[in-house]
Amino acid sequence: MLGDVVETLACPHCGADLAGDAAGLRCTAGHSFDVARQGYVNLLTGTGSTGTADTAAMVAARVDFLGAGHYDRLGDTLAAACAGEVPGVLVDVGAGTGHHLARVLDALAERRGLALDISKYALRRAARAHPRMGAAVCDAWRPLPVRGGAAARVLNVFAPRNPPELHRILAADGTLIVAAPTPRHLGELVPALDLLQVDPDKQERIDAKLAPWFTVRARETVTWTMALDHAAVAGVVAMGPSAWHTDPDLLRARIAALADPLAVTASISVSVYDPVRRLPNC
């Protein structure tokens, strides 16, 4: 619930602490924010853009696909990476429906979580995904509405990364956990359905972007095989970035030509980063 993480939130306009109740939040400078009836708070400033936010259709596809357990192996890996006694909340930046964060919270009793995403459709789900989870709309490329050092762990699963902000909100002894697809991910579907391909150098680019603020502590590539029927294949396409680039009629025809079910590879790199104690002069 939002009340469990209010003390973690900061005003997106002035950075002051937020306080309030289920009706709304307010900072000491007088900026106020209504809490939606679904339980999330919109902290997106006027300069934020929702042009790339998950649509209602993408969110529905994600709920169905993740709810079927196809990515449970990833959730278990994230939970193991989040274990530890560092004080603070677990903040998922780009949390979507909150599915992965909820699975982590299920595994870690007494922990609280904050789901951040730019899609109000996703956060309607995230706000109710777990009793110890709150949800707030924000833009990952802008200053995050989180107090400095408030996060024991920051999760980033298939989502944008703003290194200075991730570093600012993370506790000095906390960790950043990034999950990203490898080039093998959905390898059986990419050529057959003409989906977007994962850059072979994606992990190196992530490391390079994070390098001024974070150092790699550990990395694990989690790989498993999913048995996907045609509905699940359509769902995994509809919930991801390829949804923006596929023709629905052509996609249906291509899916119909696949085996049913089809063995599909899931391959995800899960990296644990420590924050750099002193940032280089810029």
Q: What is the mean pLDDT of residues 178-205?
A: 96
* pLDDT at site 245: 87
Q: What is the mean pLDDT of residues 196-217?
A: 96
Residue 254 banded pLDDT, cuts 50, 70, 90: very high
pLDDT above 60 (res 279) = no
* pLDDT at site 77: 97
In a domain, 70, yes or no: yes
Q: How many CA atoms lie within 13 A of 227 on its CB side?
A: 2
Q: How many domains does the chain have?
A: 1
Each residue's pLDDT tens digit, 102-130 = 999 999 988 999 999 999 999 999 999 99
Q: What is the mean pLDDT of residues 172-201?
A: 96
Residue 281 banded pLDDT, cuts 50, 70, 90: low
pLDDT above 80 (res 249) = yes
User: Among candidates 222, 229, 234, which has minimal Cα distance to 265?
Assistant: 222
- Which of the pair, 282 or 248, is modelled with greater confidence? 248
Backbone torsions φ then ψ of 115, nearest 5 degrees: -100, 125
In a domain, 240, yes or no: yes
Q: What is the mean pLDDT of residues 79-93?
A: 93
Average pLDDT over the chain, rounded to an integer: 93
DSSP E strand stretches across the chain = 18-21, 24-27, 32-34, 41-42, 89-93, 113-117, 133-137, 151-157, 170-181, 214-228, 262-275
Query: Which range of residues forms the domain containing residue 154?
Result: 2-275
Residue 282 banded pLDDT, cuts 50, 70, 90: very low
In a domain, 31, yes or no: yes
pLDDT above 80 (res 148) = yes
In a domain, 282, yes or no: no
pLDDT above 80 (res 50) = no
Percent of the chain topping pLDDT 90: 85
Q: Which tokens hold the place of 208?
A: 């390079």
* pLDDT at site 84: 87
Q: What is the mean pLDDT of residues 70-97?
A: 95
In a domain, 213, yes or no: yes
Distance (Å, whole) CA 211 – CA 206: 8
* pLDDT at site 87: 87
In a domain, 122, yes or no: yes
* pLDDT at site 277: 84
Q: What is the mean pLDDT of residues 254-266?
A: 97
Sign of CA dihedral 108, 113, 118, 120: positive
In a domain, 280, yes or no: no
- Which of the pair, 19 or 49, is modelled with greater confidence? 19
pLDDT above 80 (res 280) = no
Each residue's pLDDT tens digit, 168-182 = 999 999 999 999 999
In a domain, 87, yes or no: yes
Q: What is the CATH number of the domain that holds 204?
A: 3.40.50.150
